[in-house]
């Protein structure tokens, strides 16, 4: 009787050693690119942080805080422009040696990058049953590669610390109905006015208690600063707040707001106020409408991301280091790509579109608009279409994402069919 044929052993591509080696090579390759990306920023030499500390020394010597001025070859003159409450928080650092202050701000920013990336990426990995270690390391390295992060670190900015407050509030406290929901947004708004857009987001999503607490927190912090420095507080809120020329040239390429885009079209004249205000109203209304729709659908990350993009567009001055919000936008796009249908032609096309948008956004925010481009120090009107796109890349990308960023539906309860983080097929 002939022997039974023996089936060949199953062929698998399970090669833990090879997979680990490939992952190590990928991590080393990304890490090796970081010095190249950071090299042009060495000239910043913690420029902004040094302005803060010199302004604090000036203030401690008895001079009016907002009289401090420092010459700059690009902007002409730079001043201390933060609200008085921010000055109260910064003043103790002036008692330390500058090198110690630089080290503290750098370490806190790096910790903020790791923490916020964990908050953004971990839920995506868990929903798709992916291992955490390697993707998280790659994600942190990519966030460090983004121009907004590089500018924050090399200028010595405080943006990442404010992002921690905002994300802790809007990703955890507000969706969870915590009693302290709104506190982080309020504190961030008292330190820097940009986060105030998230109070409007809380109102748009009908989070009345959180919006009230955020407003009250910002007001109490402002009143505290007014009690300590009444003259400086009065001057800031009645005059300096409205003097955009104190922050720098609005036409400079680093200003990636709608007002910056218009300024680059009209320089040396200033843009007309009425068209700009109409644009601001339209973008704010549409953007917050989309953000509220996303929040009501259960996608808090998409909601706050859209709000951050709105804030960057409508602020008169939005420097590149303010634009952290492209990072969560990429996370939303990647997650939506993983959830997009694979079995139908429409699903395949949508998946390719989302992946292309995620990769394209990542490329733009890593290359940036100012790191590798010398736009000169003389105001020059933008006439060439190619230059218009290059000089306004973040503005145009923000407008695009404001329209096409998908809203993801929340995961079904455990045990129900199709327990995945489903993508809303519509844009809303």
Q: Say if residues 291 and 205 touch (Cβ distance below 8 Å).
A: yes
pLDDT reading at 343 higher than 50: yes
Lowest mean pLDDT among 164-178, 346-360, 392-406: 346-360
- Calculated CA dihedral for residues 234, 239, 240, 246, nearest 10 degrees: -160
Q: Say if residues 56 and 93 touch (Cβ distance below 8 Å).
A: yes
For the segment 341-360, the average pLDDT, to the nearest whole number, is 86
The Cα–Cα gap between 259 and 312 comes to: 10
- Which residue has tokens 């567009």? 313
Residue 138 DSSP code = H
- The pLDDT mean for the chain works out to 90
Q: Say if residues 56 and 90 touch (Cβ distance below 8 Å).
A: yes
pLDDT of 128? 87
pLDDT of 256? 97
Q: At what angle do helices 300-314 and 197-204 cross, to 10 degrees?
A: 130
pLDDT of 271? 92
- Percent of the chain, pLDDT > 70? 90
Q: Convert the pLDDT of each residue in 273-283 to its tens digit.
A: 999 999 999 99
> What are the distances in angstroms from CA 33 to CA 13, 29, 367?
30, 7, 12
pLDDT of 243? 74
- Name which of 323, 335, 334 is nearest 364 in CA terms: 323
Q: Convert the pLDDT of each residue in 187-214 to its tens digit.
A: 999 999 999 999 999 999 999 999 999 9
pLDDT of 424? 43
The Cα–Cα gap between 397 and 359 comes to: 13
Q: Say if residues 65 and 84 touch (Cβ distance below 8 Å).
A: yes
pLDDT of 19? 80
For the segment 225-230, the average pLDDT, to the nearest whole number, is 97
Q: Say if residues 341 and 350 touch (Cβ distance below 8 Å).
A: yes
pLDDT band at 422 (very low <50, low <70, confident <90, very high): very low
Lowest mean pLDDT among 10-24, 116-130, 177-191, 237-251: 10-24
For the segment 318-335, the average pLDDT, to the nearest whole number, is 97
- Residue 323, both tokens: 């634009």
pLDDT of 360? 98
For the segment 242-261, the average pLDDT, to the nearest whole number, is 85
- Name which of 221, 405, 213 is nearest 307 in CA terms: 405
Tally Cβ neighbours within 10 Å of residue 34. 14
Q: Convert the pLDDT of each residue in 42-84 to its tens digit.
A: 999 999 999 999 999 999 999 999 999 887 777 777 889 899 9
- Name which of 133, 170, 127 is nearest 325 in CA terms: 170
pLDDT of 342? 63
Task: Please report which helix (H) or strand (E) contains residue 25, including its range.
Answer: helix 16-38
Task: Indicate yes or no: pTM above 0.85.
Answer: yes
For the segment 218-231, the average pLDDT, to the nearest whole number, is 97
Q: Say if residues 395 and 258 touch (Cβ distance below 8 Å).
A: yes
pLDDT of 14? 57
The Cα–Cα gap between 121 and 286 comes to: 27
pLDDT of 426? 41
Q: What share of the chain is helix, strand, coil (3-state, %, to 5)?
A: 65, 5, 30
For the segment 314-325, the average pLDDT, to the nearest whole number, is 96
For the segment 307-322, the average pLDDT, to the nearest whole number, is 96
pLDDT of 374? 81
Angle at 402 between CA 400 and CA 407, to 5 degrees: 115
Alpha helices in 132-257 (DSSP H): 133-145, 147-155, 159-167, 183-191, 197-204, 208-228, 230-238
pLDDT of 17? 67
Please count the CA atoms within 13 angstroms of the CA of 180 that sit on its side-chain side: 9
pLDDT of 146? 98
The Cα–Cα gap between 308 and 201 comes to: 10
> Which position has the higher pLDDT, 414 or 191?
191
pLDDT band at 18 (very low <50, low <70, confident <90, very high): confident
Radius of gyration of the chain (CA): 24
For the segment 127-151, the average pLDDT, to the nearest whole number, is 94
Helices H / strands E in the chain, number of each: 18, 2
pLDDT of 390? 95
């Amino acid at each position: 009787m002939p022997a039974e044929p023996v089936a060949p052993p199953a062929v698998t591509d399970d090669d833990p050693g090879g997979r680990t080696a490939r992952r190590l090579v990928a991590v080393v390759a990304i890490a090796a690119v970081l010095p190249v990306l950071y090299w042009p920023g060495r000239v910043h030499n913690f420029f902004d942080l040094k302005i803060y500390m010199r302004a604090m020394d000036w203030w401690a010597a008895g001079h009016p805080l907002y009289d401090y001025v420092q010459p700059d070859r690009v902007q002409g003159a730079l001043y201390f422009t933060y609200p008085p409450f921010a000055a109260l928080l910064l003043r103790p650092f002036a008692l330390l040696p500058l090198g110690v202050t630089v080290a503290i701000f750098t370490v806190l920013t790096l910790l903020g990058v790791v923490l916020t990336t964990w908050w953004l990426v971990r839920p995506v990995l868990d929903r798709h049953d992916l291992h955490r270690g390697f993707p998280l390391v790659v994600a942190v390295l990519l966030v460090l590669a983004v121009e907004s992060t590089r500018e924050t670190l090399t200028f010595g900015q405080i943006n990442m610390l404010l992002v921690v407050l905002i994300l802790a509030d809007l990703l955890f406290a507000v969706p969870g109905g915590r009693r302290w929901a709104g506190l982080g947004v309020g504190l961030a708004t008292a330190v820097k006015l940009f986060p105030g857009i998230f109070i409007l987001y809380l109102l748009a999503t009908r989070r009345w208690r959180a919006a009230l607490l955020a407003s009250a927190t910002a007001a109490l912090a402002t009143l505290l600063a007014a009690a300590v420095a009444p003259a400086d507080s009065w001057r800031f809120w009645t005059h300096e707040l409205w003097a955009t020329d104190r922050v720098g040239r609005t036409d400079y390429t680093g200003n990636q707001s709608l007002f910056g885009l218009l300024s680059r079209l009209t320089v040396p004249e200033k843009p007309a106020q009425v068209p700009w205000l109409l644009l601001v109203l339209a973008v704010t209304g549409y953007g917050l409408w989309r953000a509220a729709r996303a929040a009501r659908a259960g996608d808090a990350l998409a909601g706050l991301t859209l709000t951050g993009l709105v804030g960057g567009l409508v602020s008169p001055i939005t420097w590149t280091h303010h634009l952290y919000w492209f990072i969560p936008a990429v996370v939303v796009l990647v997650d939506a790509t993983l959830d997009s249908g694979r079995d139908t032609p429409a699903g395949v096309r949508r998946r390719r579109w989302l992946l292309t948008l995620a990769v394209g956004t990542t490329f733009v925010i890593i290359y940036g608009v100012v790191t590798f481009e010398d736009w000169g120090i003389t105001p020059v009107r933008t006439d060439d279409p190619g230059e218009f796109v290059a000089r306004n890349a973040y503005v145009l990308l923000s407008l695009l994402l404001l329209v096409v960023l998908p809203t993801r539906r929340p995961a079904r309860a455990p045990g129900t069919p199709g327990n995945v983080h489903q993508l809303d097929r519509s844009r809303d």
